């Protein structure tokens, strides 16, 4: 089993969105998507995070094509004007798989290499997404 959820931090808001693993092992971003004001209550952030995490799953090529691939609609849902501006955010990918448990991957887009290298990787010793500390994640995102 593989699950993935993303949290990205912009100047005025937090985005939480769902990752779906495709048959080709790529992760695509799709609904549910939450855009919350910076300073939102921890319970609201955590509820959004749990919802996205619970929806995340592995999908077939047919599901990707017919239901989950959003194309440019994704930009609108993320409150972005361009793909370039969407990359300009500190991001944390929360992953879970049966083999490694929960791992946080922190990334920041590098315009020179046109990639988002992993800046920090943190394995977690938690059993459930409910145990995650969202404010700790946000604090790390502010520093990268």
Q: What's the domain range around 95?
A: 2-143
The answer to whether residue 88 scores a pLDDT higher than 90 is no
Q: Does the pLDDT value for residue 2 go beyond 90? A: yes
Query: Across residues 33-37, what is the average pLDDT?
Result: 97
Question: Which among 108, 107, 104, 109 is positioned nearest to 136, based on CA atoms?
Answer: 104
Indicate the burial class of 43 (C-beta count within 10 angstroms; 0-12, 13-18, 19 or more).
exposed
Please determine, for residue 87, whether its predicted confidence score (pLDDT) is greater than 90. no
Q: What is the pLDDT of residue 66?
A: 93
At 8, which CATH number? 3.40.1590.10
- pTM value is 0.92
Torsion of Cα atoms, 48 then 93 then 61 then 81, to 10°: 80
Number of domains in the chain: 1
Strand-pair partners of 5: 18, 94
Distance, in Å, from the CA atom of 20 to the CA atom of 128, rounded to the nearest integer, reads: 19
At residue 22, the 3 state secondary structure works out as coil
Q: What are the tens digits of pLDDT across the range 36-70? A: 999 999 999 999 999 999 999 999 999 999 999 99
């Amino acid at each position: 089993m593989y699950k993935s959820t993303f949290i990205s931090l912009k100047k005025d808001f937090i985005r939480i969105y769902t990752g779906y693993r495709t048959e080709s092992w790529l992760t695509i971003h799709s609904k549910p998507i939450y855009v919350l004001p910076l300073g939102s209550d921890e319970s609201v952030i955590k509820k959004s995070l749990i919802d996205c995490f619970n929806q995340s799953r592995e999908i077939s090529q047919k599901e990707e094509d017919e239901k989950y691939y959003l194309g440019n609609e994704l930009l609108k849902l993320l409150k972005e004007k361009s793909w370039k501006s969407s990359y300009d955010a500190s991001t944390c990918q929360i992953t879970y798989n049966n083999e490694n448990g929960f791992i946080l991957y922190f990334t920041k887009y590098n315009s020179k290499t046109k990639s988002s290298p992993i800046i920090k990787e943190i394995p977690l010793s938690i059993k459930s997404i409910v145990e995650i500390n969202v404010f700790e994640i946000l604090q790390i995102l502010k520093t990268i």
